[in-house]
Amino acid sequence: MSKKQERKKRRARVAQSGAARSARLQGHTEDANERYRSEYAVRGARSNRFMLVRYLSALIFFLNISWLTILFVARSWGIVVPLVGFAASGVALIECMVSVSRDHERLKYAEVFYPASAVMYVLAAVITLVAGKDLIFPFLSEGIYGVALCVFCIAVEAIVYRRLWKIRHHTDKRYARYAQVSADAAQSS
Residue 154's pLDDT is: 92
> What SS3 state is found at 172?
coil
Residue 152's pLDDT is: 93
Total count of domains within the chain: 1
Residue 20's pLDDT is: 54
Burial string for 133-150 (b: 16+ CB within 10 Å, else e) reads bebbbbebeebeebbebb
Residue 180's pLDDT is: 78
Is residue 156 within 8 A of residue 137, CB to CB? The reply is no
Q: What's the pLDDT tens digit per position in 155-178?
A: 999 999 998 888 888 888 887 777
Q: What's the pLDDT tens digit per position in 32-52?
A: 777 777 777 777 777 788 888
Domain of 51? Answer: 3-188
- Say if residue 26's pLDDT is above 70: no
